Amino acid sequence: MSLRHAVLGLLANGPASGYDLLKSFELSLSNVWSATQSQLYGELGKLDAAGLIVVASEGPRGRKEYAITDEGRAELRHWLLEVEPTRVRRSDMLLRVFFLNQVTPAEAEGYLDGQEKHAQAYHDHLLALEGQIPWDDTALSVYGRIAMEWGIRFSRASIEWSAWAKERLRDAALPEGEWAKERLREAGLEEKS
Amino acid sequence: MSLRHAVLGLLANGPASGYDLLKSFELSLSNVWSATQSQLYGELGKLDAAGLIVVASEGPRGRKEYAITDEGRAELRHWLLEVEPTRVRRSDMLLRVFFLNQVTPAEAEGYLDGQEKHAQAYHDHLLALEGQIPWDDTALSVYGRIAMEWGIRFSRASIEWSAWAKERLRDAALPEGEWAKERLREAGLEEKS
DNA sequence: GTAAACATGTAACAAGTTACATGATTGT
DNA sequence: ACAATCATGTAACTTGTTACATGTTTAC
């Protein structure tokens, strides 16, 4: 139910149309919560029906500007302070690590290397962005900066982890290890588990 | 499509029943990819129909033991080495941070403090677990240890980030800042955006 | 005039969650 | 005999993705 709260959160900082919100998702919120256009318009309809937002005004091209209601604000506050964040922990990047024993150590190292490069690129991107934004002392800015710091720290930790993992892999050096058995199996030589 | 590959990855390390796989998800894989019982049995049916796995034997209580096929192994390998991990980046914990300007600075600090405590507990839990597991030099063990290191490093980064954020918040000290305007709005004093 | 941007909506599908439903085997 | 564990399956619902469909206004 977080898309609902993302929309309420955005509208709490001022009224906006579905199109406006979509832009907000695309350029600032996408790093922590992404939404598609079709999902967004659907959710606006539901929030309206539930009385958490209202159409404040209608503009050209069928534009509908939504505003948060008192009930919406109460719901947002409840979610912010009383609902425990769900920790999903679903990462297909990490899932692959679990099954890397199915490929050769050289291929596994290649995979980890790719992840390191990706994390490095993302880290560089965030640092560049951080330098561009004129941070001030308004609440919006302070919390935005805190959220961005999370990205910076976690991409840095990713880079360091990848490097550590590659080294660990080299140290373990699995020449006749588990993966070799898998090669044999692929060659058609079945064995009992 | 990652549940499919999680199942293939588990079966690549030996045949198992739906029930066995469910236990694997619950006790080791749940930290990187969770699946419900109903989802799992559904996926096994689809994988069977697609020829990526087969029923190798049937046991008591209607137990069906599945084994990966050569096509399944090829698909797993393809996914491991040629499919780019999807980076979803969806965190309702971080989403809340974006909207913390809707509550008082003291409440915001309370939220960050809660996150720090949660990260600390998770970190402690992982370190205890790491000490219990008899790590050896088999591929399965090496890659398992690498995956666990990710959890350890990221929970540590989480703790440090929360502490940093709380300090930053105190330094910024938003006494008459943005959040106050929101209080006024809640009191019914509407203003133009 | 025409391309870009503004603006909303729906349909079909895939993935994930919760709850219900049923029954067999093993250990005490 | 009874509880725990083993074992599978289905139905209803929510969330998220991709693609289709349509029309308006503004700037050049």
CA distances from B94 to A33, B9, B115 (A): 9, 31, 10
Nucleotide D11 C1' to residue B95 CA (A) = 33
DSSP label at residue B96: H
Instruction: Quickly count helices (H) and strands (E) in chain B.
Output: 8, 3
From B80, B169, B178, residue closest to A103, measured CB to CB: B80
Q: What is the dihedral of CA B105, B107, B112, B115, to 10 degrees?
A: -170
Q: Which of residues 145-164 of B touch strand C (CB under 7 A)?
A: none
* All structural domains of chain B with their residue ranges: 2-82, 92-186
pLDDT band at A184 (very low <50, low <70, confident <90, very high): low
Calculate how close chain B gets to A165, using CA atoms only, in Å.
6
A vs B, Cβ pairs < 8 A, gives: 220
C-alpha–C-alpha distance, residues B68 and B77, integer Å = 12
Which residues are CB-neighbours of A189 under 8 A, at least 6 positions away? none
Strand order of the sheet with strand B53-58?
B16-17, B64-68, B53-58
Fold of A2-82: Arc Repressor Mutant, subunit A (1.10.10)
Q: Which nucleotides of C are covered by protein (CB under 7 A)?
A: 6-12, 14-20, 23-26
pLDDT at A172 > cutoff 70: yes
Q: Which DSSP string corresponds to A2-53?
A: HHHHHHHHHHHTS-EEHHHHHHHHHHTGGGT----HHHHHHHHHHHHHTTSE
Q: Which residues of B touch A110 (CB under 8 A)?
A: 81
pLDDT at A83 > cutoff 60: yes
C-alpha–C-alpha distance, residues B128 and B122, integer Å = 10
| pLDDT tens digits for range A101-143 | 999 999 999 999 999 999 999 999 999 999 999 999 888 899 9
What's the average model confidence in pLDDT over A75-99? 95
pLDDT at B188 > cutoff 80: no
| pLDDT tens digits for range A48-78 | 999 999 999 999 999 999 999 999 999 999 9
The 3-state secondary structure of chain A, one letter per residue: CHHHHHHHHHHHCCCEEHHHHHHHHHHCHHHCCCCCHHHHHHHHHHHHHCCCEEEEEECHHHCEEEEECHHHHHHHHHHHHHCCCCCCCCCHHHHHHHCHHHCCHHHHHHHHHHHHHHHHHHHHHHHHHHHHCCCCCCHHHHHHHHHHHHHHHHHHHHHHHHHHHHHHHHHHCCCCCHHHHHHHHHCCCCCCC
From B85, B107, B139, residue closest to A96, measured CB to CB: B85
Q: Is A55 helix (H, G, I), strand (E, B) or coil?
A: strand
* pLDDT the model gives residue A192: 41
What's chain A's average pLDDT? 91
User: Could you count the other beta carbons within 10 Å of the beta carbon of residue B169?
Assistant: 20
pLDDT band at A183 (very low <50, low <70, confident <90, very high): low
Q: Do A103 and B81 touch (CB under 8 A)?
A: yes
Please return the burial class of B178, using the count of CB atoms within 10 Å of its CB with bins 0-12, 13-18 and 19+.
middle
Which has the minimum average pLDDT: A96-100, B72-76, B85-89?
Answer: B85-89
| pLDDT tens digits for range B112-135 | 999 999 999 999 999 999 999 999
Q: Do A91 and B111 touch (CB under 8 A)?
A: no
Q: Which nucleotides of D are covered by protein (CB under 7 A)?
A: 6-12, 14-20, 23-26
Tokens 């050896």 locate to B136
Here the tokens at position B144 are 């398992």
Give the residue with minimal CA–C1' separation from C19.
Answer: B38
Q: Which residues of B touch A98 (CB under 8 A)?
A: 9, 29, 32, 143-144, 147
Instruction: Quickly count helices (H) and strands (E) in chain A.
Output: 8, 3
Which residues are CB-neighbours of A115 under 8 A, at least 6 positions away? A93, A158, A162, B85
pLDDT at A99 > cutoff 60: yes
Strand D proximal to B155 Cβ, under 7 A: no
- Cβ atoms of B149 and A164 within 8 Å: the answer is yes
- Cβ atoms of B126 and B152 within 8 Å: the answer is yes
What's the average model confidence in pLDDT over A16-34? 96
C-alpha–C-alpha distance, residues B80 and A132, integer Å = 36
HSE of A72, CA atoms in CB hemisphere, 13 A:
27
* pLDDT the model gives residue B176: 54
Both ends of chain B: CA-CA distance in Å?
Answer: 43
Strand C proximal to A89 Cβ, under 7 A: no
Q: Do B99 and A76 touch (CB under 8 A)?
A: yes
Strand C proximal to B37 Cβ, under 7 A: yes
C-alpha–C-alpha distance, residues B141 and B28, integer Å = 12
Q: Is A187 helix (H, G, I), strand (E, B) or coil?
A: coil
